[in-house]
Amino acid sequence: MDTLIISDTSRLNQAASIIQSGGLVAVPTETVYGLAANALDGKAVSSIFKAKGRPSDNPLIVHISSLDMLDSLVKSISPKAKLLMDTFWPGPLTLIFEASDIIPEEVRAGLSTVGIRFPSHPVIHDLIELSGVPVAAPSANTSGKPSPTNATRVIDDLFGKVDAIIDGGDCSVGLESTVVDTTSDVPTILRPGGITESMLRTVVSEVAIDPALINQDSGITPISPGMKYTHYSPNAQVIIVKGDLNIVTQEINQRVKLHTKEGKTVGVLATDETASLFNADQVLSVGSEHNLNEIAANLFEALRKFDDFNIDIVYSLAFPNKGIGKAIMNRLEKSAGYNIIDK
């Protein structure tokens, strides 16, 4: 398939006609790049699964460009959902509702519910407006890889498999949206993201967390089907080392020496403050340890860079498990397949 690269966003009408005729368009959002199709066209939606190699039991998020679009897509909107929408939309928050009958089976992957997001990024906003339909869009990566936060990474994964890729620069948040179920009485976080638990609590006093997230290694089935997959993995094996920085540094440097003797190439995922402490084939900083938003924005790109350098094993520091740090650690632990050394 020919893939059109659109780097001039004044040419979005071309992308909109592709959506209208049932094609696939990769598009920037404030979180990560998405792979969009007309959400009301089951056949178009099923081609998303094919292009990504995505398991068919993993439902898609439907993106809207105005609140008016919401009513026909869902059965009801609870007062708490309304409060969350009023506060955090447009933005990196996906809310789960009971789906109306116009949502195709392919979007819901067999569930009775649908996830809806009103993104704040102007490019996806304009694409939806010009298309005149809501778009279903998962992250625009090959299934299992870290989500793409720039157009080059989308091209790496999907060139030749989709109709168009819109280049809108780097994504500002860098991690996928927070997913919150609003179908039960207490809103429940199914996937941590840029809108944190404490931000949600400023609007609704009670917020629950899917128990499968609290103890990710427990074998409890998560409510969001996508959260059960090992994900975000570069080709390199990722290992997280937690604990006191001096001990962690020693441990990693010793392991790097051993691996080097075995003929393996080793990377370290560190911060601006710690990068100089490590001796490895590639030491990458994801930003300052004092700026978790910066770390979130750089994490997926750093994981992909290790593959550019053909690194076999990556040792990563752990990051503070608070605020957006919860989303960072959720993605990092998944990319490591829960391979964590606690020193």
Residue numbers at the binding site for ligand TXA (CB under 6 A): 29, 31-32, 34, 58-61, 92, 94, 96, 111, 113-115, 117, 137-139, 176-177, 179, 190-191, 223-227
Interatomic CA distance for residues 232 and 214, integer angstroms? 19
Phi-psi region of 73 (alpha: psi -120 to 50; beta: other; left: phi over 0): alpha
Pairing assessment for the beta strands 93-98 and 113-117 based on DSSP bridges? antiparallel
Q: How far is the CB of 272 from ligand TXA (least distance, A)?
A: 26
| Beta strands, E only, 151-227 | 164-166, 178-181, 188-191, 208-209
Stretch that binds Mg ion, among 14-22, 65-73, 103-111, 131-139 (CB under 5 A): 131-139
Q: Quick one: 90 or 146, whose CB is closer to Mg ion?
A: 146
How far is the C-alpha of 223 from the C-alpha of 288, rounded, in Å?
33
**How many residues sit close enough to Mg ion to count as binding (CB under 5 A)?**
1
For CA atoms 29, 31, 33, 39, give the dihedral sign: negative
Of the listed pieces 86-94, 136-144, 252-260, 306-314, which binds Mg ion according to CB under 5 A?
A: 136-144
Closest residue by Cα to residue 35 from 20, 10, 52 = 52
Would you say 48 or 204 has its CB closer to ligand TXA? Answer: 48
Closest CB to ligand TXA among residues 17, 58 = 58
Nearer to ligand TXA, 95 or 283 (CB): 95
Residue 116 binds which entry of ligand TXA, Mg ion, none, CB below 5-8 Å type-dependent? none
CA–CA separation, 163 and 123 (whole Å): 17
Q: Which of 31, 139, 149, 178 lies at the binding interface for Mg ion (CB under 5 A)? A: 139
Interface with Mg ion, residue 249, by CB under 5 A: no
Q: Which residues bind Mg ion (CB under 5 A)?
A: 139
